[in-house]
């Protein structure tokens, strides 16, 4: 079963400052939410996809990794301590966590318990609602600085809010994410299991798979830098380097990005905000595909 994009975790040191950055770039940023295991988040929604801005707010409350149990808080605490701010986790949509876990276990990339949790959130009008999730984790040992899991929404009617999906920069959807590695071919088998479909070789050092929601690209460091104008993350194994956004009107997006006073690269048909400005992330803005 092929899995579409669900969300990306962007771990930062200062959640409010990160919210201000995305706000300056023209995104609508949700209010602060609190996890019981020491992390706080703010969300940026697109149709069926979101960015999770994450802060390790209370390190003392974070549970450790245990045999068969993956600690979301510990992973992101270690990421920001060892790597710094950046895109730490790629999350795909889960339809049945039991099946996801079985597939990951059978392929030798799982071995973790399903994690169920709920928290309180807020609607745009300020009212409180409960949201709930089931997570199935996968892990590639050669990639210690990228986390992978599927996420099933148990209360989607309480989570998704159309008012939060309207953005002043004209972003309408997620086009895809870009992973990068020194040797992309070494990670194709793992990603094929995680996505649930085979990656297609585009050119040497570049593989891609299209999912029901967005593409997953895997590029060499050199191809990433050539395409987006900024260096790829340099850590060992797979790293999540970029998010690609669809915009309805490139001129409108250009005006908004320019007003943010951030360094923006224009490369061929895309606009790129690089990792120095975007807290370790590369943000790519592309014109949405026009219907035939």
pLDDT digits (tens, 9 = 90+) for 150-201: 999 999 998 999 999 999 999 999 999 999 999 999 999 999 999 999 999 9
CA dist., res. 54 & res. 264, Å (int): 24
pLDDT value at residue 230? 95
pLDDT value at residue 290? 67
In a 13 Å sphere around the CA of 29, the CA atoms on its Cβ side amount to 20
CA dist., res. 183 & res. 102, Å (int): 28
pLDDT value at residue 118? 86
Distances (CA, A) of 270 to 177, 179, 192, 194, 287: 14, 18, 27, 28, 7
Same fold, 5-165 and 171-287: yes
pLDDT in tens, 42-60: 999 999 999 999 999 999 9
C-beta of residue 288 within 8 angstroms of C-beta of residue 172? yes
Please, what is the average pLDDT of the chain?
Answer: 94
CATH number of this structure's domain 5-165, picked from the four choices 3.50.50.60, 3.10.180.10, 3.40.50.300, 3.40.50.720: 3.10.180.10
pLDDT value at residue 292? 53
Q: Using a pLDDT cut of 70, give the percent of the chain over it.
A: 99
pLDDT in tens, 248-283: 999 999 999 988 878 788 887 899 999 999 999 999
Strands 270-273 and 264-267, sheet pairing: antiparallel
| Nearest one of 263, 180, 265 to 229, comparing CA atoms | 265
Please give the structure tokens belonging to residue 92: 């795909």
Domain ranges of the chain: 5-165, 171-287
pLDDT value at residue 124? 73
Question: Residue 1's pLDDT band (boundaries 50, 70, 90)?
Answer: confident
C-beta of residue 118 within 8 angstroms of C-beta of residue 153? no
pLDDT in tens, 192-229: 999 999 999 999 999 999 999 999 999 999 999 999 99
3-state secondary structure at position 127: coil
pLDDT in tens, 10-35: 999 999 999 999 999 999 999 999 88
Any alpha helices (H) in the chain, and if so which ranges? 15-24, 72-82, 97-106, 156-159, 188-195, 221-228, 250-259
pLDDT of 39 over the 80 cut: yes
Q: Looking at the whole model, is its pTM more than 0.85?
A: yes
Question: Residue 122's pLDDT band (boundaries 50, 70, 90)?
Answer: confident
pLDDT value at residue 291? 61
pLDDT value at residue 6? 98
pLDDT value at residue 174? 98
C-beta of residue 234 within 8 angstroms of C-beta of residue 182? no
Any alpha helices (H) in 3-88, and if so which ranges? 15-24, 72-82
Average pLDDT over residues 232-238: 93
pLDDT value at residue 263? 79
Task: Report CA 156 to chain centroid distance, whole Å.
Answer: 19
CATH number of this structure's domain 171-287, picked from the four choices 3.40.50.300, 3.20.20.10, 3.30.1330.50, 3.10.180.10: 3.10.180.10
The mean-pLDDT minimum among 84-93, 117-126, 250-259 falls in: 117-126
| Nearest one of 1, 4, 47 to 177, comparing CA atoms | 4
């Amino acid at each position: 079963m092929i899995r579409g994009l669900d969300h990306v975790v962007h771990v930062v040191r200062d959640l409010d400052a990160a919210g201000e950055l995305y706000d300056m770039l023209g995104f609508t940023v949700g209010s602060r939410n609190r996890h019981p295991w020491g992390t706080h988040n703010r969300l940026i929604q697109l149709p069926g996809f979101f960015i999770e801005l994450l802060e390790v707010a209370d390190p003392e409350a974070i549970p450790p990794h245990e045999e068969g149990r993956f600690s979301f808080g510990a992973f992101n605490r270690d990421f920001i301590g060892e790597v710094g701010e950046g895109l730490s986790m790629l999350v795909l949509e889960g339809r049945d966590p039991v099946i996801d876990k079985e597939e990951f276990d059978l392929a030798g990339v799982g071995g973790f318990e399903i994690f169920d949790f709920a928290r309180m959130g807020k609607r745009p009008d300020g009212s409180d609602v409960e949201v709930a999730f089931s997570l199935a984790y996968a892990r590639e040992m050669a990639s210690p600085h990228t986390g992978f899991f599927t996420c099933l929404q148990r209360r989607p009617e309480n989570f998704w809010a159309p008012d939060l999906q309207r953005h002043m920069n004209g972003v309408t959807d997620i086009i895809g994410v870009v992973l990068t590695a020194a040797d992309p071919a070494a990670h194709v088998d793992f990603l094929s299991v995680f996505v649930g479909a085979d990656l297609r070789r585009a050119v040497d050092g570049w593989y891609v798979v299209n999912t029901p929601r967005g593409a997953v690209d895997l590029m060499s460091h050199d191809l990433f830098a050539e395409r987006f104008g900024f260096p790829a993350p340099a850590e060992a194994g797979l790293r999540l380097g970029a998010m690609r956004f669809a915009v309805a009107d490139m001129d409108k997006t250009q005006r908004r990005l320019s007003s943010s006073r951030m360094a923006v690269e224009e490369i061929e048909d895309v606009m790129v905000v690089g990792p120095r400005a975007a807290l370790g992330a590369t943000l790519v803005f592309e014109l949405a595909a026009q219907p035939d």
